[in-house]
Amino acid sequence: MDTEELKDLIRDEYEVINTNETVSKIFPMLEKLDVDKANALLVEENRKIIGVVREKDLIRGSVMTNPHETKIKNFVVRTGILTLENLTPDNIARRFVEDSTPFVLIKKNGKYGVIYINDFLNSIKSSFKDVKVKEVMNPEIITVKTFDSAAKALATMRNHGVDRVVVVDENNKVVGIVTGKDIIDRIISPRKRARLGEGSGEKEKTLSIMVESIMSYPVITAERNDSVADVIDEMVNNRISSVVVTKGGIAEGIIIKKDIIESFIKKATPTEYGVQIISKDIVIDEFEREEILKDLEKFMRKFKDFLGESVLFVYIKRHKESFRGLPLIHIRIRLSCERGVFFVTGESWGVEFALHATLKKLEREVLKEKELLLDKRMVQRFYEEIL
């Protein structure tokens, strides 16, 4: 894909708001934007764009605060901004992953534009025509039962560092999906609006309600051997961000837009293996980043021959809790390699301890796969010698 084709993806469909405006001023803006794409909200300070604000952060934040008093500056995400000179598919993909936004900021001729994730996925869809879902999906599927409470669903999301869970019935068949946004939109926000006198709300709904009452259904599904290009079509046409992978109605995994873009980055990575570090709510200085890279590259070298070409994505998130000056750190690691996809999560106090704890989990998963492969080879050799 050349620069001219990428330029055609740039749109001027966005809104700009000042850092000193209140959150309540932004909701009318959302209604103007195209719901089929995403809500691009750019934030300016002193007449300069300094970042963006994500709708999901606004919704969650307005639940915890008074939207008529809370300033936009509390929700600014300082994203990277691409120029026409460095406009490449690889750079766009990296911005989607690192900024964790549904759009990427582009600066052109002194003005700004955005590339929406759906438009970008459509533009790279042809490269996934022969790629199967099993090569991209996340095999770790997080589920809750239909009779579980919304509170349990929220706790499950937090414990696993995800923003959605799949709902299954008593036979473990997939029947729905629940996101953090669903719980906020359908339970928490209506009750808060009622307390603020903005309508009657839905007071009867509390976090003790069963997820069956608030889940989204029917679920869009795919099978392991389906084409990822077809999954992209499903996501774009149905305006969804995830597809559940099933076999006979039983969940085998899940594939989200970020999984597809990570796979695209892996293809574009020229080295034998690559490492991507994405952090949230924490500033990692250069020295700490170098130490993290050393630990990760040491792990990759250790299993280099077994894993083959691989890419390691590390997500580091800081929680509000702290102990003796060390913040509680949640880490998700996704290893995409020739052997498949490995996914682990871990938590501890401080980045160093959290990283080591999570890497130990990842090492155990890789060793289990290695031993399983060895066992298969031994059995095969045994039958060959006997027969």
Q: Percentage of the chain with pLDDT > 70?
A: 83
Please report the DSSP string for 1-29 in residue order. Answer: --HHHHHTT-B---EEEETTSBGGGTHHH
- Which CA distances in Å does 139 have to 109, 187, 343? 44, 30, 8
Q: Order the strands of the 326-337 sheet from edge to edge.
A: 273-280, 310-323, 326-337, 340-349
What CATH number matches the domain at 269-384, 3.30.1640.10, 3.40.50.300, 1.20.1440.130, 3.30.160.100? 3.30.160.100
- Confidence tier at 201 by pLDDT (50, 70, 90): very low
Is it true that the peptide bond before 102 is cis, omega within 30 degrees of 0?
Answer: no
The neighbouring-strand residues paired with 352 are none
Domain ranges of the chain: 3-124, 133-256, 269-384
pLDDT (mean) for 35-57: 78
Domains 3-124 and 133-256 share a fold: yes
pTM: 0.72
- Rounded Cα distance, 42 and 50, in Å: 8
CATH architecture of 3-124: Roll (3.10)
Residue with tokens 């498949």: 340
CB 197 within 8 A of CB 190: no
Judged against a pLDDT cut of 60, whether residue 270 lies above it is answered with: no
Angle between helices 89-99 and 117-124 (to 10 degrees): 140
pLDDT in tens, 121-147: 999 999 999 999 998 998 888 999 999
- Which CA distances in Å does 9 have to 39, 100, 103, 117? 16, 19, 11, 10
- What CATH superfamily is the domain 133-256? CBS-domain (3.10.580.10)
